[in-house]
Amino acid sequence: MIDLCDLSVTPTTNEQGTSNTNLYDSIKNEPFKIPEDDGNDLTHTFFNPDREGWLLKLGGRVKTWKRRWFILTDNCLYYFEYTTDKEPRGIIPLENLSIREVDEPRKPNCFELYKPNHKGQVIKACKTEADGRVVEGNHVVYRISAPTPEEKEEWIKSIKASISKDPFYDMLATRKRRIANKK
């Protein structure tokens, strides 16, 4: 192993006219440190999202509309209570889901996420309870309302582009149905 402190440096001048030994001395005198990561900070996940904004989400059990900050990134839809929250209130993986516009009498500009060909089946998702426990979601559909018709269209377009299909999942679901039908 080579110790950088043992290397001798011949001073040279770069194109800007500054000495390269200053850079070497700076590196030599200031130890390089990697910031500690406790593995719990999701900030980097949300750094450059495909889309983000305020939407209303209809509750799964208690059918009330809650304003949530949504972030669409890495084929997942995350929602937060506040824009400043580090941890999401919920995570909806978009794998094998579909999206459609819906008419909601009490809320305009609605769309919903659902499982095609699996009517009544709960969508794979998780949420954080008020006491901090992470639990499975209990939505058969996620009904969401955008502030304007234009934003609704943009969200639908962005989510459609992020939905991924896993053929293995579809194959397993088909086999499960066949087995259930034989019983």
d(CA 101, CA 155): 11
Considering the four listed CATH numbers 2.160.10.10, 2.60.40.420, 2.30.29.30, 3.40.50.300, the one that applies to the domain covering 51-165 is 2.30.29.30
Whole-structure pTM over 0.85, yes or no? no
- In degrees and rounded to multiples of 5, residue 150 shows phi and psi of -65, -45
Q: Give the mean pLDDT of the chain.
A: 81
Give the pLDDT of residue 175: 73
Q: What is the pLDDT of residues 51-105, one digit of tens each?
A: 999 999 999 888 899 999 999 999 999 999 999 998 999 999 999 999 999 999 8
Which of 52, 46, 64, 49 minimizes the C-alpha distance to 143? 64
d(CA 172, CA 174): 5
d(CA 4, CA 173): 58
Name the band, by pLDDT with cuts 50, 70 and 90, for residue 179.
Answer: confident
Across 6-20, 53-67, 77-91, 159-173, least confident range: 6-20
Residue 163 has pLDDT above 60, yes or no: yes
Can you tell me whether residue 38 is helix, strand or coil?
A: coil
Name the band, by pLDDT with cuts 50, 70 and 90, for residue 34.
Answer: very low
Name the band, by pLDDT with cuts 50, 70 and 90, for residue 4.
Answer: very low
Secondary structure letter of residue 147 according to DSSP? S
> 28: which strand partners?
none
Residue 169 host element (H or E): helix 167-182
Residue 130 has pLDDT above 60, yes or no: yes
Q: Which residue has the higher pLDDT, 84 or 179?
A: 84
Q: Which residue has the higher pLDDT, 49 or 176?
A: 49
Question: What residue spans define the domains of the chain?
Answer: 51-165
Q: What is the pLDDT of residues 113-127, one digit of tens each?
A: 999 988 888 999 999
